Structures are given as C-alpha cells and as structure tokens.
Chain A
Amino acid sequence: MTTEFEREIRAAFAETIPARADPALAASIRVQMAETPVVRHATGPLFRRSGRSVSFLAAVFAAVVMAIVAAPLIGQLRPPTPSANPGQVVGASPSPNASTRPAPGTIPLHPNMFGDVSILQVRLVTDTVGWVATSTGLYRTADDGKTWTEVRVWPKTPAAATSVDLIDADSAYVGAGTRVAVTHDGGASWSEATLAGESTGSLGYGPILTFRTPLIGAATFESTDPAQPVRLRVFETTDGGRTWVDRGTSALPDGEPKLAPIDGQVLSLNEGKADNKPFNDRLWLSTDGGLTWKHRTFPIDTASPAGVLKWVAGAPWIGENGQIVLPISNGDRSSIYESGDDGQSWRLIDDRAQPTQGNFHGDFAVQLRSATDWVLAARDGSEIWSTTDGGGDWRLVTGQAPIWRLSPSWASQDHAWAVHDCARNSLMPHGPDSWCDGTDLASVLFETTDGGRTWRPIGG
C-alpha cells in the first residue's frame, strides 16, 4: 500500500523530472548516429567491403528522419507544396529571391582547417579544383587547397544535408529531405527545388542522388517499412535540377531486398543473392535512379566462382554502346571485369589478392576515373596500383599512408586527397596516431602528389 510519504516522493520526482525527453534530443542523436560508425571488433564483414554504401545509407536514413523531426523545430524547411502526381513537374525554376545566393568570401587555408568538423566527402576533380563536404557545410578550392570558399552552409542540423553528389568542377547537388539544391557554377549560386509536398517520412530513405551527367540524374527515396517489399520513389531531372519530374514508384526486381547505392551514376543490387537464399549470381544495375532495372549476371570464372559471396566493390563505370567496367570483391580478392555487351558477358581485366593488414581485412579502394584510367589503393596505403590504359600496364607505388581506412579521391594517377578520420580511428584498435592523439581534431585532410608514396596534411 502506498503511503503518503511515498506519494510525495513520486510527486517530487514528477514535478522536476520531465516525463518525456526533449523532442530535439532524438533528432540530435540521429545526427550523431549518421556520423558515428558502429564498432565491430575483430574484422566484421562490414569493414571488409567498401563501407561506403552502409555509411551512406545510415547518413541518408538519419537525414530523412532528421528532416522530419527537426525541421519544424529549427524552422529551416519551407512550407510543403501541394502533393504531386507521377509525371507531374514538381520542382520549380529558381527565382531571384528563391535560394540563389552569392557565395561567401574566400577563406585562406589555415592549419587544421577542417579539423574541428567531420569531413563527410571529398572530391578532387582536377589538380586544382576540389570539394570538401563537412558536417557543417560545403567548401571548394580552385587552387589545390591554398584558399577555400565556403559555398554552402548546412542548416544547424548537419545531417539534414549529408546527401551530397559532387559531380565535377562546377556542379554539385545537395539533398536535404525533400529538397535538392544544385550549383553549376562552382557554388557561386544555387537553386533549390522541393521534390514533393509529402513529408520525407512517407517517401522513406533519401534522397539518394545519382547523376549520369551534370544535367541528367535522379533523386530516389527508398521505403523503410520492414514489413513491406521495398518500393522506390523516383524523381528525375534532365535540366540540371531546375525542374524535377515525379516518375512515381517502382519495385526492386524479384523482391531483391538489398539496394546498395554507390557513389556515382548507378544504383546496384548487391551480392547476387536475396536474403536467406542461395547466391543466385544475379547482378542488377539501374542508371535511372531505380526506376528500371536491367538484369545482368555477375562475372563468373575462377576469380569469381558461381554461388559464392561477391559484391560490387566500387562505383562501376558505364560508357556508351554497352561498355561497363565493374569492380567486385569476394572479401579476399579484388577483381575488375569489363563488358562490351551491357553486362551479358564479362572479361576479367585484373585480379589480385587483397593485402592483409593488421586490424582488418585489407580491401582496395577502387576508383574508375574513366573507361581506362583506374586506381586501386590498399586501405593502409601500402600498395597503390594504377593504370591509364585499361589494365594493359599497371604502376605500383608503395607507401605508408598515415590514414585510417584510406579512401582517396584521385584527380590523376599522382594526385589525390584522402581523409583521416580521428573519431573513427579512436574506435579501432590501433597504434599511436600522431595526427589525432592528444588533439580534439575530428579529421585531417591529406594530399599526395606522388601517387601515394607520401601523404601530407592540407593545412599543415
């Protein structure tokens, strides 16, 4: 039986302890989740693949939820526009007073310029022009990092803008909830379009941005109800993001459940298997944001046997007349295949054992810069293989990158940027880290100009 004293205790707690957490707390946690990797001790499978798809998915998920939860709180998003029907043009051309704004001024490079924030994505486009997307905004340099322009600042909630596609030296797309902003002049001006009046909650994960050219691409949302088959809602632009057409919903082929967005121009369904079924070795790629899927077969040979685990290990390169260059991995070996008939048959171009590294399996970070210009970088920087003639001749550079899980962005065979993530490094068993230990740095941006033999921090 409850006494008056006990009732008073309860009342005293009730008066001072809120029954519910601040609504912004969950949103804030999701923002951090998007930027925080889970810890997998030993060498869990998540770290044996590129990891990019997973972190991207998590970031997109957080961005969507964040936008739903936080938008009303922070008052950053516009009021919704009326819901659109499939086929309807749902975007709007930018008006002078829409969201076009001049870029802020130039920022001279200073030590640890990006050290206080998490770097989400980097793209070194040429030897002089590059982009850095951080948790607070987007930066661009036109002089190889000597000076920077802060071309876009995210809303206060950084994950609300983590969906970024850095296309080339001039064009970049930024997705936040149902809005997509685009620049085609290196960030000097931006235009925004609202894809749909619906909440991102009804649209699902997204937007996942995939662009075939700076002008033609898609923004895709993936449904998130685990009880229902995955549905995709696809919006398409053919005019560089000025207008968007709602292409409606589509399903993944044969109920394949694993959409694996890959940086670049395609979506893929990974691993040639469906959940809890034998590997069927089917490979699905979509170049229209998931609206349509074309069935290909995974390359099958001694380097990539039938019926075993294998996955797309980097952004494929898709050219004209059915040419596809496809990097795959099986966890032990990395291979590159080429097709001249749109993936109906494959030719093995390169196959090499993945280097074994101390704390995790060492896959390669593969970047296909063109049909013939490829770079494969071991995650510890010990081996950098590159070719400029489609695998005819390979150049090996040996080095030792001071970077955790090297994932460079190469402008050429010699010149690349890469991010050393202090926060992630601190989560993994590792030796002394002279760049991060004893500092508050979140990340360090590195550069190589000798093909990966040596790396130096940008900003000193």
Chain B
Amino acid sequence: MDEAARDPIAIAVDEHRAFERLMADQLDASFRVAVAILGDRDEANDATQEAFIAAWRQMPGLRDPAKAVSWLQRITINASISRLRRRARDRKANEIVGRLAPDRLPDDEAIIRRESLRTALWQLKPEHRLVVFLRYYEDLTVEQISRRIGIREGTVKSRLHYGLERLRQAYDGDLEQTR
C-alpha cells in the first residue's frame, strides 16, 4: 500500500491546506464567473459557496491536481446554471435588468452605448454571456475557454459569435434609436 495513502491525518491536513490554496487562488475568479452567469451578486455568493463545498466534498476524487482550476470552474458553472434553472425565466430577466440597470437616464452618447450594451449583456443566454465574459473580461483564448469549461472550441466560437452579434445589435441599435 502506498505509504501516503495510509496516513489519514496527513492526508486530511494536506487536503485542507491544498484546498485553502485553491480557494485563495480561485475564489474571486469563481465568484466572477457565477455573477457573469447569474447576474445577481447574492445568488452568485450562494452558488460559489455551494460550488466550493461540493468541491471540498469531492476533493479526494480529483486525480490530477493540475486540473483543479478547470474542475472547480466547472463545478461553479454547474452550480450557477442549476440555480438559474430554478429561477423562472421571465422573472429572472426582469430581476437582472431591474437590479443591474442604472437608476438614471443616460445623458450622453458614451453612457447610452454603455448602458445599452450592459442591458443586452444581461439579456444574453447565460452560456453565451459566460464565454463572452471569459474572452473579453478574463482575457482567455478560445482554447483556454474550451479547456476551462469543458466544451469544444467550435462551441466556444459559435457561442462567442452569437453573443457578440446580439451585443453588437443592441449596442448599435439602441444608439440609432436615440439619435
């Protein structure tokens, strides 16, 4: 028997320390992903917490520590999407726009563009918003996104394309309407 495997106290302590490191490195990123999907900070808090606890429970099943980050992100994404599914779709859209839209009316062109884009961003399908977020906010490449969330590169590209197209329409269209 592998000696390390026969040393439960050390395993437990090592796991705890490793998990603390993982949390220190990835908590913020996971939280951002959850917000990007859910559009709600409170719910993102809950989803991130749920994801980390699920990861903690399942940590011994993680065979390859090098994959811990993508493993954790997938758990976070799954937890966030599960929460999203529990929400009524119409209600969700209203809540998101209601919570994240500005209180005041835009008063110049730059603000109009930004607010239009923001509104459109939160009206995207969550899976589209996620890849846009990872590409343009987290600066990941298509290949990195593919590995990170476990979908094919072609799927990443198509989601990016669809998401950007909708954002561009909203961005330009709203601007046209205000002119």
Known: A22-B45, A57-B13. A17 touches B118 (CB 8 A): no
Number of interface residues of B (CB under 8 A): 50
Interfacial residues, chain B to chain A (CB-CB below 8 A)? 3, 5-13, 15-17, 19-20, 23, 27-28, 30-32, 35-36, 39, 41, 45, 48-49, 52-53, 56-61, 100, 113-114, 117-118, 121-122, 132-133, 136-137, 167-168, 171
Contact A12 B114 (CB under 8 A): yes
- Judged by a CB distance under 8 angstroms, whether A1 is at the interface is no
Contact A44 B12 (CB under 8 A): no
Residue from B10, B12, B100, B167 within 8 A of A58 (CB atoms): B12
- Judged by a CB distance under 8 angstroms, whether A126 is at the interface is no
Residue from B6, B56, B114, B167 within 8 A of A11 (CB atoms): B114
CB distance from A82 to the nearest CB of B (A): 30
Known: A18-B41, A36-B53. A258 touches B9 (CB 8 A): yes
Q: Which residues of A contact B118 (CB under 8 A)?
A: 12, 15-16
Bound-complex Cα distance A40 to B61 (A): 7
Q: Which residues of B contact A427 (CB under 8 A)?
A: 57
Known: A29-B49, A38-B58, A61-B16. 15 other contacts (CB 8 A): A9-B167, A12-B117, A16-B39, A21-B28, A22-B45, A29-B52, A33-B19, A33-B52, A45-B5, A45-B7, A53-B9, A257-B10, A260-B9, A275-B7, A276-B3
- Judged by a CB distance under 8 angstroms, whether A309 is at the interface is yes
Known: A12-B114, A13-B137, A226-B17. A38 touches B59 (CB 8 A): yes
CB distance from A429 to the nearest CB of B (A): 14
Number of interface residues of A (CB under 8 A): 51
Bound-complex Cα distance A447 to B26 (A): 44
Q: Which residues of A contact B136 (CB under 8 A)?
A: 6, 9-10, 13
Mark A41-74 against chain B: 1 for CB-CB distance below 8 A, else 0: 1001110110001100110010001000000000
Q: Could you say which of B41, B56, B171 has the most chain A C-beta atoms within 10 Å of its C-beta? A: B56
Bound-complex Cα distance A455 to B39 (A): 48
12 A–B contacts, CB within 8 A, in A order? A5-B167, A5-B171, A8-B117, A12-B117, A13-B133, A18-B35, A29-B23, A44-B8, A45-B7, A45-B8, A45-B11, A58-B12
Bound-complex Cα distance A151 to B23 (A): 35
Bound-complex Cα distance A270 to B53 (A): 28
Bound-complex Cα distance A36 to B100 (A): 34
Bound-complex Cα distance A82 to B148 (A): 48
Nearest-CB residue, chain B, relative to A9? B136
